[in-house]
């Protein structure tokens, strides 16, 4: 018995050793398998990466599109398989009815789409017909225009031929144009007693230049009547240590001036260095001039002086206000004397029409202004006004009385 036990124990020990060896072998195989699997996955990943590096973007895009198509096809096949299974598992009659209903719906949809397509086709056909009609109309219009152009060309050639054969016309002789009937420069009016009196008319000079008119002052400027001018003369004479008598003649000052000419030169120089600044004469350059024994103020229109004709020949213009002031003043006996530069004849016609039809707002019986005109050279017209001051020997009073004054007629100033 003792021997058998020992033998059995020996056999069990060998089995344990064998099992341990087998376990070790299996473990090693598992480790080898895992290592092989990991190596194969890593190799596959590297192969994929290398393939992705080699493939171009276009090929990749094509492959992705192909994969999408394959996925769509797979879904369609799956739907067919599911439908086939449903047919095999369900009632064939019901499935047939469903199919017939689906077919009917498809036919109705096809009819609707066909009707819509037909409607669009008819609309397109109508638009095409309308466009073709417009094109035909344009072709006809082009043909008519070409025909008219051909006729006009024929007429032009005929006129050119006739013009070549015709002699050059001679210009008409120059003739004098005189606007309306001449009028006297005086008028007859009734005084407070109802008696008729003759009144001489004084000129109101109006310069027409371009599209503007420039009225000149209606009165002379005696220095003892114009406050601004009087102040200037008094200041000028005091600064030059001069004086005048009651008639405006310069009083000699032998201590400072040897002659009247020297006194006159001093006054002209002073007026040039300290020019006049008279209110209401903004349109004029003002200077002093000696004419014989008299000292005159010279008014020369500035470059852009005056009032534009569109405003001047209206009821709101300054020229209309001036006419109203004269008509309502103490001495309304004036006529308008237009001085017309070459580029202002149309301006003259427009303002002349305005004064010919002028009506006093407060007295409708006063209508129109006597007027005349005179062509002049451009940029030369100016007016001189006697100041009331003289330089020289004061002449003695006349010994014989002057003849009585008769009616004064100012030539042919009016037309």
Model pLDDT for residues 184-216, shown as the tens digit of each residue = 555 666 667 777 777 778 888 999 999 999 998
Report the distance separating Cα 103 and Cα 184, nearest Å. 115
Report the distance separating Cα 193 and Cα 191, nearest Å. 5
- The pTM of this model reads 0.49
Name the residue with tokens 């064998």.
18
Report the distance separating Cα 55 and Cα 49, nearest Å. 10
pLDDT at 176: 40
How confident is the model over 120-147, as a mean pLDDT?
86
Q: Is the pLDDT of residue 138 over 60?
A: yes
Tokens for 160? 């050119």
Higher-confidence position of 386 and 337: 337
Residue 299: which of 217, 415, 404 has the closest Cα? 217
Residue 392: which of 255, 263, 237 has the closest Cα? 263
> What are the pLDDT digits (tens) for 155-187?
888 877 776 766 554 444 433 444 444 455 556
How confident is the model over 127-144, as a mean pLDDT?
86
pLDDT at 210: 92
Asked if 324 contacts 225 with a C-beta cutoff of 8 angstroms, the reply is no
pLDDT at 87: 64
How confident is the model over 42-65, as a mean pLDDT?
72
In which band, very low, low, confident or very high, does the pLDDT at 90 lie, cut at 50, 70 and 90?
A: low
Asked if 180 contacts 415 with a C-beta cutoff of 8 angstroms, the reply is yes
In which band, very low, low, confident or very high, does the pLDDT at 402 lie, cut at 50, 70 and 90?
A: low
pLDDT at 94: 73
Name the residue with tokens 């069990």.
12
pLDDT at 411: 45
pLDDT at 349: 92
How confident is the model over 320-339, as a mean pLDDT?
87
- Among 9-13, 74-78, 219-223, 406-410, the range of highest mean pLDDT: 74-78
């Amino acid at each position: 018995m003792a021997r058998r036990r020992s033998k059995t124990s020996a056999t069990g020990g060998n089995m344990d050793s064998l099992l341990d060896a087998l376990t070790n072998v299996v473990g090693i195989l598992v480790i080898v398998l895992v290592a092989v699997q990991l190596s194969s996955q890593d190799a596959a990943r590297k192969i994929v990466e290398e393939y992705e590096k080699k493939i171009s973007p276009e090929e990749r895009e094509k492959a992705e599109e192909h994969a999408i198509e394959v996925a769509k096809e797979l879904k369609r096949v799956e739907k067919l398989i599911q439908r086939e299974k449903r047919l095999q598992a369900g009632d064939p009659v019901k499935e047939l009815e469903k199919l017939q209903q689906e077919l009917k719906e498809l036919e109705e949809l096809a009819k609707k789409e066909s009707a819509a397509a037909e409607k669009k086709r008819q609309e397109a056909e109508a638009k095409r017909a309308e466009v073709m009609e417009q094109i035909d109309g344009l072709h006809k219009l082009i043909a008519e225009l070409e025909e008219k152009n051909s006729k006009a060309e024929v007429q032009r050639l005929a006129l050119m031929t006739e013009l070549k054969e015709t002699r050059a016309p001679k210009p008409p002789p120059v003739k004098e144009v005189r606007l309306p009937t001449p009028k006297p420069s005086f008028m007859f009016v009734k005084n407070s007693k109802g008696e008729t009196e003759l009144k001489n008319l004084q000129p109101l000079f109006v310069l027409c230049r371009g599209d503007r008119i420039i009225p000149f002052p209606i009165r002379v400027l005696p220095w003892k009547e114009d406050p601004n001018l009087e102040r200037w003369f008094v200041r000028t004479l005091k600064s030059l240590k001069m004086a005048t008598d009651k008639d405006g003649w310069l009083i000699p000052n032998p201590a400072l001036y040897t002659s009247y000419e020297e006194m006159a030169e001093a006054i002209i120089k002073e007026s040039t260095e300290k020019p006049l600044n008279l209110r209401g004469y903004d349109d004029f350059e003002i200077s002093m001039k000696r004419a014989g024994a008299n000292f005159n103020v010279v008014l020369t229109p500035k470059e852009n002086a005056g009032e534009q004709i569109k405003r001047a020949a209206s009821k709101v213009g300054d020229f209309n206000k001036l006419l109203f002031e004269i008509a309502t003043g103490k001495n309304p006996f004036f006529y308008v004397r237009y001085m017309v530069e070459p580029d202002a004849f149309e301006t003259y016609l427009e303002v002349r029409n305005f004064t010919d039809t002028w009506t006093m707002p407060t007295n409708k019986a006063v209508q129109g202004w006597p007027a005349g005109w005179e062509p002049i050279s451009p940029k030369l017209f100016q007016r001189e006004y006697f100041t009331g001051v003289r330089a020289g020997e004061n002449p003695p009073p006349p010994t014989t009385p002057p003849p009585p004054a008769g009616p004064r007629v100012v030539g042919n100033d009016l037309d």
